[in-house]
Chain A
Amino acid sequence: MKKPEIPLIINGRRIDGRLPDEVREIKMSIGEILNADGSARVSFGNTEAIVAVYGPRALFPKFLQETDVGLVRVIYSMSPFSVDERKNPAPDRRSIEISKVTKEALSAAIFIEDFPKAVVDVYENIIQADGSTRVAAINAASLALASAGIPMKDLVAACSVGKVDDTLIVDLNGKEDNYSESDMAVAMMPSKGLITFLQMDGRLTKEEVLELLKKAEEVCKRIYELQKKTLLERYKMEKEEE
């Protein structure tokens, strides 16, 4: 843990003026990538993710095909200009790990038995990074999957929570992420109360972990409502155009 030059909580407010339980402004939209079967853009303050879904489509080489279930592949990547120091565009170890656990988190919500031998490719791109990028991307991926018509058990909603200056907070920004005592990324199927993604690091008591999970659930439920609203609005607009 690095020591921050400045305290992260002053008079009960965070460095960007938020209260501990306050989420940044969230924006969501669907369908801007015309070539994709489904796409979505989600931003939390300055953090912005675009996700495209292609498939289900034929999976090659053939030996990768599973006879009883379909495959989900995820690639998470950050644009070179998304961070302060230019990021090499080649996949790094962090991106490979995030891609792997995101794939598992989304697979948990998808009826993979509905498209045996085929693959659904999910491409996540971070346009701008200011903390909580993996969860912003999961929220967008879930919207993109739904708009691609992939059969799902539930939408997946995700958020980050953590501990800074002895205070439990939600939706960490970049600075908070760097200097936090602990941070945790959570994704869940809100209507089922099931967690499909969980990564935590830092130093927390068991009670603090459970309290943070509760906070994450509250935020995920709000994100879930926004996701449903975004999908409904998009669907309604298309109906009017007809």
Chain B
Amino acid sequence: MEEFVKEYLNQGKRIDGRGFRDYRPIEIKHSVVSKAEGSAFVNLGGTKVYAGVKLDIGEPFPDSPNEGILIVNAEFTPLSSPEIEPGPPGEDAIELARIVDRIIRESQAIELEKLFIEEGKVWVVYVDLAVFDMRGNLMDASTLASIKALLHTRIPKVENGKIIRGEFVSKLPVIYKPVSVTIGKYNNNLLVDLSKEEEEVIDTKLVIGVRDDDKICAMQKQGIGALSFKDIEGALDLAIEKSKELRRLL
């Protein structure tokens, strides 16, 4: 399989017939879990991810006493791949969650200062990702699912300091739709949306988080290869271009 994928890439082609700059079909649904304050499901070319948002009342961090808190976690369920063993998140799941966290946080997509309840009490926004099928490019699928879920998150009613689940007072203040575009490098080519088969052959990736105003809000190089300055410049252009396409789906 690996040789087959390489042979195609060397000819400037992909085994599923896509161009290097094409995403696979993307299906996005929201409000798929009624128990959650916000939720979304993404199917990106077979990669299936749920994002669920739960809100809780918590104590603010001492250095930002008037701001809500964002916590992102990712779970690679053993359903998702024969390589995933049940157990606590491994380094890949932790990295994924932390990149999604930075994309949401650094883009300032959520107005955290509006999540103040009263002295010593703020909303804690938990974004939990549950991965059910890993068919490549989990990163971009997870960012899409997280943002879609946040866009449809409602803040529950609070009475005497207790949350009334199922009754809502307002929408979560989300003002940007950041997306991630993960770009692989094979020889001197840049490709978006790597399939599972391509990920096994391509050892260098760059995740780029892009906000609505084209500001770059996060970057992370992944894999054991290296990138030239020209690669990075090309990847930034490609990410900005593709980010608009992805954002239209949200």
**Footprint of B on A, CB under 8 Å?**
1-2, 93-94, 96-97, 99-101, 104-105, 107-109, 112, 182, 184, 188-189, 192-206, 209-210, 213, 217
Interface of B is mostly: mixed
Are B232 and A203 closer than 8 Å at their CB atoms?
A: no
Interface footprint category on B: 35 or more
Are A204 and B228 closer than 8 Å at their CB atoms?
A: no
Are A206 and B216 closer than 8 Å at their CB atoms?
A: yes
Whole-angstrom CA separation of A94 from B98 in the bound complex: 8
Contact A200/B216 with A2-B64, A96-B91, A209-B236 known, Cβ cut-off 8 Å: yes
Are B107 and A97 closer than 8 Å at their CB atoms?
A: no
Are A195 and B232 closer than 8 Å at their CB atoms?
A: yes
Are B91 and A213 closer than 8 Å at their CB atoms?
A: no
The smallest beta-carbon distance between B214 and chain A, in angstroms, is: 7
**B 107-122 binary contact with A (CB < 8 Å = 1; else 0):** 1100000000000000
Contacts A193-B229, A194-B228, A201-B219 supplied; 15 other A-B pairs, CB < 8 Å:
A1-B106, A97-B94, A97-B95, A108-B225, A108-B226, A192-B226, A199-B219, A200-B219, A201-B218, A202-B106, A203-B215, A205-B215, A206-B236, A209-B232, A210-B229
B164 at the interface (CB under 8 A from A): no
Interface of A is mostly: mixed
Are B216 and A205 closer than 8 Å at their CB atoms?
A: yes
**Chain B positions within 8 Å of A99 at CB level:** 91
25 A/B residue pairs, CB under 8 Å, sorted by A = A2-B63, A93-B94, A96-B94, A97-B94, A99-B91, A100-B95, A104-B221, A104-B223, A112-B224, A192-B226, A195-B221, A195-B227, A195-B228, A197-B221, A198-B232, A199-B220, A200-B219, A201-B106, A202-B106, A202-B217, A203-B107, A206-B237, A206-B240, A210-B232, A213-B232
**Chain B positions within 8 Å of A97 at CB level:** 91, 94-95, 98
Are A210 and B236 closer than 8 Å at their CB atoms?
A: yes
Are B227 and A198 closer than 8 Å at their CB atoms?
A: yes
Whole-angstrom CA separation of A99 from B107 in the bound complex: 25
Q: Which of B97, B102, B219, B225 has the most CB of A within 10 A?
A: B219
Whole-angstrom CA separation of A101 from B211 in the bound complex: 24
Are B233 and A210 closer than 8 Å at their CB atoms?
A: yes
Q: Which residue of chain B lies nearest to A196 when distances are taken between CB atoms in the complex?
A: B226
Partner of B216, one of A96, A199, A209: A209
Q: Which residue of chain B lies nearest to A107 when distances are taken between CB atoms in the complex?
A: B224
- Kindly list the 6 A-B residue pairs having the minimum CB-CB distance in the complex, ordered from nearest: A194-B226, A200-B219, A107-B224, A198-B221, A100-B91, A201-B106
**Chain A positions within 8 Å of B211 at CB level:** 203
Are B108 and A1 closer than 8 Å at their CB atoms?
A: yes
B31 at the interface (CB under 8 A from A): no
